[in-house]
Structure 1
Amino acid sequence: MEKTRRMSKIFAEDGKSITLALDGCYFSTKTAGIDDAIAQLPKMIENGLDAVIVTYGMAKTYESSLTQVGMLVRADISTRVFDPNVPGTTRLISIEDALKLGADGVIAMTFPGASSEASSHEAAWELAREADKWQMPFMCETLPYGYAITNEASGHPDVIAAGARIGTELGADIIKTRFSGESGDAKIISSAQRPVLALGGPKADHILDYFKFVKHCMDVGAKGVAVGRNITQSDNPAGVVAGLNVMIHQNGTVEEAYEAYHA
């Protein structure tokens, strides 16, 4: 089996994806809204949701709720879950584990420039190699200097671009990474040479601000988003997906997205 079929579960026919990150319990105790968002999956799928990122346990607990959406299983977990900066990760599941769950892909982080750089690169490479054996798409979440933006370099387009390319060189089929919001973000796309999904980032104070950020990411060449809190902690999760659908799959404006959010 080629990766093409599984990639088509993650990306729509236009090659773009609205992916909902529900894997926060592996990295944080601040996970309000995740279970409530899962209850709203049917409406979100109707509004254009393409895929979800889940933990191993979530894939089992909510199996019946995940049958109509592409599913990537998180293969790594924080080594210190009570530290919101996620100082390091460790590998958990195998590709065979993910296949038994019916996954369409797997995902893991790597931290170029961080103290845990070597171990995170090694884990990502091993996962990519195993994924190739089974024709399973591997999404590499490349986060320079660590999970959070802790210095100027970690949020700079040139640095993010270099980190994205490392993910590609490690064998990723898809790159998930942060964007700075600056015009230089186009370098991230050209450097990655793979479909890039924009990391959701900190929860926006106003949905219009988030939509403006997403529109910027799409304008510079992103193939969509992989977003958690800006959906799960919204008062209107299905509305956020509807707005994202307008911009990502319909090439609409921020204003049209905002209208869809309120529809």
Structure 2
Amino acid sequence: MNAGLRSRLDRISTDDRYLIVPMDHGITLGPVKGLKDLESTVDAITRGGADAVLTHKGTAKRVHPHKNGKGYIVHLNASTVIGPDENDKRLTGSVEEAIRVGADAVSFHINVGSDYEPKQMTQLGELTETAHRFGIPVLAMAYARGPGIDEQDPESLGHAVRLAEELGADVVKTAYSGDAESFRHVVDSTTLPVVIAGGSKGTNRHTVEMVRGTMDAGAAGVSMGRSIFQHDDPEAIARAVSAVIHDDLSAEEALDVAELAPDE
């Protein structure tokens, strides 16, 4: 690994542990709670302990003044929930554009098993080659999604994360299989750092217990969006999640540190 790639991975992590908060949902879902006042949300979650935030290129200027020195990732493909097929992620930017808007890394979403897998696979392979020429890390969001696929099946998730490694990604994000025991297979399927998606917002207890299970399985952290940026107190929930990832606290200890009620 060259020095540039290593140094940029360090900007989006702490001691090779990752708390990334993706906020690219403005394209997918629209200006939902937590994204209208993006500036305040970025400030809160980075004060709470997030290592990096992730958006599309157009909102970079709203991110940089408020990220408190933390890392920044630009996402490079997207779709909408009101379009013909949400799995059909289309390119929205390039590595060069991401560099110009101050990104420390780029990310790309691939739905393994979908009708769009072949094109997305080709694009991810090309993206990693381009990014590495500039020393830019690639976060592959590799999901098992398609006809007849269980999106939490550990075998399918293991295939997805291994595909990301084979195509040259540096970090891989995927869905959580539901428990630490089954997720160990996913983590063992690749040598890449594995981070999980958070999905829609649940209770505080559910969120931190999921993170605890992820870390117990040997994962490197989370890339958790709505569970954090749509929380009533984004700073506090980021602090709780950070306490599990970076301080190795239990779920209960993390909630206590963040002064969060478990069932809210």
- Most deviating of 162-171 and 179-188: 179-188
- CA RMSD for the aligned pairs? 1.9
Contact map agreement 1:95 1:106 (CA 8 A) in 2: yes
1:154 aligned onto 2:129:
no
How far did residue 38 of structure 1 move? 3.3
How far did residue 84 of structure 1 move? 9.7
SS in 2 for 1:143: strand
User: Can you list the C-alpha shifts for 1:51-79, whole angstroms capped at 9, x where unaligned?
Assistant: 0111111113333223611001001111x
Selected match of 1:11 from 13, 26, 37: 13
Corresponding position of 1:118: 118
Task: Summarize the alignment of residues 97-246 of structure 1 with structure 2, pairs less than 5 Å apart.
Answer: 97-146=97-146, 151=148, 153-182=150-179, 183-204=181-202, 206-246=203-243
- What's the TM-score once normalised by structure 1's chain length? 0.91
Task: Summarize the alignment of residues 29-40 of structure 1 with structure 2, pairs less than 5 Å apart.
Answer: 29=30, 31-36=32-37, 38-40=39-41
User: Can you list the C-alpha shifts for 1:3-28, whole angstroms capped at 9, x where unaligned?
Assistant: 0110000111x210111111101222
Corresponding position of 1:2: 4
Corresponding position of 1:248: 245
Contact map agreement 2:38 2:63 (CA 8 A) in 1: no
Q: Which runs of 5+ in 2 are unaligned?
A: none
Runs of 4+ in 1 over 2 A off after TM superposition: 35-38, 40-47, 60-63, 150-154
Contact map agreement 2:197 2:222 (CA 8 A) in 1: yes
Percent of paired sites with the same residue: 26
User: Can you list the C-alpha shifts for 1:26-60, whole angstroms capped at 9, x where unaligned?
Assistant: 22236221234530433432331100111111113
**Structure 1: distance between partners of 2:5 and 2:37:** 32
**Structure 2: distance between partners of 1:217 and 1:85:** 30
Contact map agreement 2:47 2:68 (CA 8 A) in 1: no
> How many residues align structurally?
257
**Structure 2: distance between partners of 1:152 and 1:130:** 31
Amino acid paired to 1:19:
I
